[in-house]
Amino acid sequence: MNKIVTWTALSLSALALSACSVPRGAALSSDILTEQTETAPSYQVITVTRANVSDFHNWPVTGWSGNYTWLSNPRGPQSQVIRTGDRVTLTIWDSQENSLLTGPASNQVTLPAIPVAANGSIFLPYAGDVSLRNLTQTEARTKVQDALVQISPSAQIQLSVDQGANNAADLVGGVAQPGSYPLPNRNTTVLNLIAAGGGIRDSLENPLVRLQRGGQSYEIRADKLMTQPSLNTTVRGGDKIIIQEDDRYFTALGATGREELVPFTRENLTAIEALSTVGGLSDTRADLKAVLVLRDYDKTQLIKQTPDTPYSPNGPLQEQVVFAFDLTSAEGLFAARKFQINPKDTVLGTETTLTSARTVLGVIGSAVGLGNALDRLAN
């Protein structure tokens, strides 16, 4: 009687197992990689090795432009320069009697602030237009005095400049104190301006510095800008600087340390670095022989496929591509160290079949325990 009860419980458990698939936390590699053996596969599967990993560096970029564009770092003189929109004030001394510049009652006159016109010049009485744009104050004073020599050889000039909007730059956001900041000289840099604005806000993760100039936009990660002095470019009047979070991400799924959207912590990220970012792979669940990267390509990026070309080093053959890595070998590990992750990629840790086996054994073990319990009740 006891044996009948026990075997009945085991039979019911076996029926339950056969009636449904064993629940898993991630896909098995066989669920995905067998597609490559199909006559007409719906996506492309590529095993990444040291021999072919360099091919993918030349494939079309997905998820972003492929790199950030930034400006060089030209250096200029420390003195401020005059730009369109500045206002120039002139004080003139002239000891000559009956001077056209000062008048009979005084040997000194101050001309009201003169705006620098769109063509970079100011208008002087009796002398006409004098171009001052891109000159320092000292250079501008000499040029104005030379222009007045024919009218009054003894005239002496004092010149001052009030900065206009074109000699200031805007910190639009991402700093403690956004606003418009005058540029004290031609060597004012991006980091100088950010410091003047109180620095980058602490709440920003992976901040990105965007510089807008002349209808063009340039970008660089803040950590790279701060660690490489040669990239700390100078600011021009009218520049706008915006600091915001780098919005690129990849997705981690399956038997990885975390399952979530993961922001890029650096400008370029390899497969190994991506796995490290999410805490690696699960020791008990992950199939190290099949770590996958899933990527979507646009139709316009595909290489024309022929029946005898299952793989092309020049680009993808299908819109969906699965890149497979065997991390149990040095071959796969070195390949993963060089393979670049693109924004919006999915990094998938497949589940080992041992996990499913453990699940089955656990269910059987539970069934045996149930049988023993029934056996004891029968007694």
Tokens 């079309």 appear where? 60
Question: What confidence score (pLDDT) does residue 17 get?
Answer: 44
Conformational region of residue 332, where left means phi above 0, alpha means psi within -120 to 50, and beta covers everything else? alpha
Tokens 């007045």 appear where? 148
Tokens 């030209």 appear where? 74
* Distances in whole angstroms, Cα of residue 3 to Cα of each of 6, 369, 373, 375: 5, 13, 12, 8
pTM for this prediction: 0.67
- Write the DSSP symbol of residue 314: T
Tokens 């000559």 appear where? 96
Alpha helices in 174-291 (DSSP H): 190-196, 222-227, 271-277
State both tokens at 216. Answer: 């063009």
In single-letter form, the type of residue at position 254 comes to G
Question: What confidence score (pLDDT) does residue 8 get?
Answer: 47
Which residues lie across from 154 on neighbouring strands?
none
- Distance from C-alpha of 29 to C-alpha of 322, rounded to nearest angstrom: 11
Q: Architecture of domain 29-63+249-357 in CATH?
A: Roll (3.10)
Pick the CATH number of 87-162 from 3.90.245.10, 3.40.50.150, 3.30.1950.10, 3.30.70.1350: 3.30.1950.10
Strand order across the beta sheet in which 179-182 lies? 179-182, 168-173, 240-245, 207-213, 216-221
> 172, 201 in Cβ contact below 8 A?
no
- Distance from C-alpha of 368 to C-alpha of 191, rounded to nearest angstrom: 70
Question: What confidence score (pLDDT) does residue 191 get?
Answer: 96
Domain assignments of the chain as residue spans, ordered by start: 29-63+249-357, 87-162, 166-245
Same CATH topology for 29-63+249-357 and 87-162: the answer is no
State both tokens at 82. Answer: 């005059």
Q: Which residues contact residue 378 at a Cβ distance below 8 angstroms, ignoring those fewer than 6 apart?
A: 1, 2, 5
Give burial (CB, 10 Å; 0-12/13-18/19+) of 131: middle
CATH code for residues 166-245: 3.10.560.10
State both tokens at 316. Answer: 């993808």
Calculate Rg over the CA atoms of the chain.
36
Question: What confidence score (pLDDT) does residue 101 get?
Answer: 73
* Closest to 85 in 3D by CA, of 122, 130, 118, 112: 118
Question: 10-residue block means of pLDDT along the chain (379 residues)?
Answer: 48 45 63 80 93 95 92 67 86 78 76 89 89 90 89 85 80 94 84 95 94 94 93 91 95 91 93 94 90 96 80 93 95 96 96 56 46 54
Computed from CA positions of residues 274, 278, 280, 286, in that sequence, does the dihedral angle turn out positive or negative? negative
In single-letter form, the type of residue at position 220 comes to I
How big is the chain, counted in residues? 379
* Closest to 175 in 3D by CA, of 193, 156, 153: 193
Longest dimension (CA), the chain: 137
